[in-house]
């Protein structure tokens, strides 16, 4: 695979076959169960491992960085790279459990959940950052278990709304609205403000750079090397005048650990200090991911170039 293919933006690579694949797996899960679904998925995962050189290269780069930053982490071996592929694939099966409202089959350990409960009790929404680490869908359903909580999720891919429609066929109670796109315009800001004031939550990736807006990033240190992080979550939290949280959900044995983190009650900056303030928040978020990776090093599901040197 050429270097240009490896550098192709993640959004251009994730469309191919993804919708049909999700539909097939959902039907397999619904009628045959999780175990059979994992059996069906195994040769597919092995195929992508064998023939996706770009993904293997990027995961190896990640493991090298992780080893140089944290002591005692998994070595950058092909076995550990394969393990990440399978962790990702089997995590999709767990997502399907969440999509169908069967999250109760997992033992959920919640850390700092009072941050989320407090907002729910106050009827206050927030912006929530998620990352390539772990499995947000399971944490979303765990959060729903407190009360009926609605999430509005930013997704960049063309099939974003179709994904949501397919999932709702299997679970009409699926309380998630999909916001497709990259830019925040005035009309969307007003709509989101109304949702947040009504106690709804806006979910946005805290470590995915914009598809078209290359200036919408700040460069921070991540695992000891420069990487671009999006400014979107921080601008959004400022525009909506609401708290900014992060959720990390990682597999622990047969269950999941959900960690809630608070980054700001309100975000404030002006034209003069905008980049400096946002960079500070982004660096804090990058450090949060680094700390979570200590206990879940093989649950980093980014298969594309992430660091600026790649």
**Portion of the chain with pLDDT greater than 90, in percent:** 58
pLDDT > 70? residue 16: no
As a whole number, the mean pLDDT across the chain is: 86
Paired with 219 in beta bridges are 228
Convert the pLDDT of each residue in 226-238 to its tens digit.
Answer: 999 999 999 999 9
Query: Band of the pLDDT at 137, cuts 50, 70, 90?
Result: confident
Residue at 184 is within a domain: yes
**Do residues 281 and 263 touch, judged by C-beta distance below 8 A?**
yes
- pLDDT at position 173: 62
- Check residues 17 and 198 and name the one with the higher pLDDT: 198
Per-residue confidence at 1, pLDDT binned at 50, 70, 90? very low
Of residues 184 and 121, more confidently modeled:
121
With respect to residue 308, please indicate whether it lies within any of the assigned structural domains.
Answer: no
Per the domain annotation, does 310 fall within a domain?
A: no
Query: Following CA atoms 92, 103, 35, 50 in sequence, which dihedral angle do they give, to the nearest 10 degrees?
Result: 20
Task: Give the span between the Cα atoms of 230 and 262, in whole angstroms.
Answer: 18
- For residue 17, CA distances in Å to 20, 23, 55 come to 6, 10, 17
Q: Is 192 inside a domain boundary?
A: yes
Q: Is 256 part of any domain?
A: yes
- Is 305 domain-assigned? no
Residue 10 has a pLDDT of 42
Number of neighbours of residue 16 by Cβ within 10 angstroms: 9
| Domain enclosing residue 17, as ranges | 3-293
**What value does the mean pLDDT take over residues 140-146?**
62
Judge whether residue 218 has pLDDT over 70: yes
Find the mean pLDDT for residues 158-164: 63
How much is the average pLDDT of 59-84?
96
Q: Rounded to an integer, what distance in angstroms lies between the CA atom of residue 35 and that of residue 97?
A: 12
Q: State how far the Cα of 132 lies from the Cα of 206, in Å rounded to an integer.
A: 9
Report the percentage of the chain scoring pLDDT > 70: 81
Q: In the predicted model, is pLDDT for residue 283 greater than 80?
A: yes
At 243-269, the pLDDT tens digits run 999 999 999 998 999 999 999 999 999
Does this model's pTM top 0.85? My answer is yes
- Provide the domain count of the chain: 1
Q: Which residue matches tokens 């069967």?
A: 102
User: Residue 189 — pLDDT band, cuts 50, 70, 90?
Assistant: confident
Q: Euclidean distance between the first and final Cα of the chain, in Å? A: 14
Work out the number of other CB atoms within 10 angstroms of the CB of residue 72. 7
């Amino acid at each position: 695979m050429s270097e240009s293919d490896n550098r192709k933006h993640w959004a251009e690579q994730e469309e191919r076959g993804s919708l049909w694949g999700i539909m097939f797996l959902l039907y397999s899960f619904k009628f045959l169960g999780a175990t059979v679904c994992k059996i069906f998925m195994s040769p597919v995962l092995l195929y992508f491992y064998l023939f996706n050189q770009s993904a293997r290269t990027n995961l190896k780069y990640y493991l090298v960085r992780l080893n140089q930053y944290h002591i005692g982490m998994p070595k950058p071996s092909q076995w550990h790279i394969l393990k990440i592929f399978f962790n990702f694939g089997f995590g999709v099966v767990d997502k399907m459990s969440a999509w169908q409202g069967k999250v109760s089959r997992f033992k959920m350990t919640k850390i700092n959940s009072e941050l989320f409960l407090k907002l729910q009790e106050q009827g206050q929404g927030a912006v929530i950052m998620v990352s390539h680490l772990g499995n947000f869908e399971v944490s979303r359903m765990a959060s729903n278990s407190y009360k009926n909580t609605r999430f509005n999720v930013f997704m960049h891919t063309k099939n974003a709304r179709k994904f949501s429609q397919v999932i709702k066929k299997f679970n009409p109670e699926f309380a998630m609205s999909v916001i497709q796109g990259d830019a925040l315009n005035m009309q969307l800001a007003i709509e989101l403000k109304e949702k947040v004031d009504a106690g709804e939550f806006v979910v946005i990736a805290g470590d995915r750079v914009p598809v078209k807006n290359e200036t919408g990033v700040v460069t921070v240190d991540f695992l000891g090397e420069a990487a671009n992080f999006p400014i979107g979550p921080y601008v959004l939290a400022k525009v909506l005048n609401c708290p900014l949280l992060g959720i990390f959900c990682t597999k622990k044995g047969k269950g999941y650990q959900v960690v809630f983190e608070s980054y700001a009650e309100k975000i404030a900056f002006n034209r003069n200090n905008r980049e400096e303030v946002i960079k500070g928040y982004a660096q804090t978020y990058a450090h949060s991911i680094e700390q979570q990776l200590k206990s879940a090093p093989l649950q980093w599901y980014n298969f594309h170039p992430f660091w600026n040197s790649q």
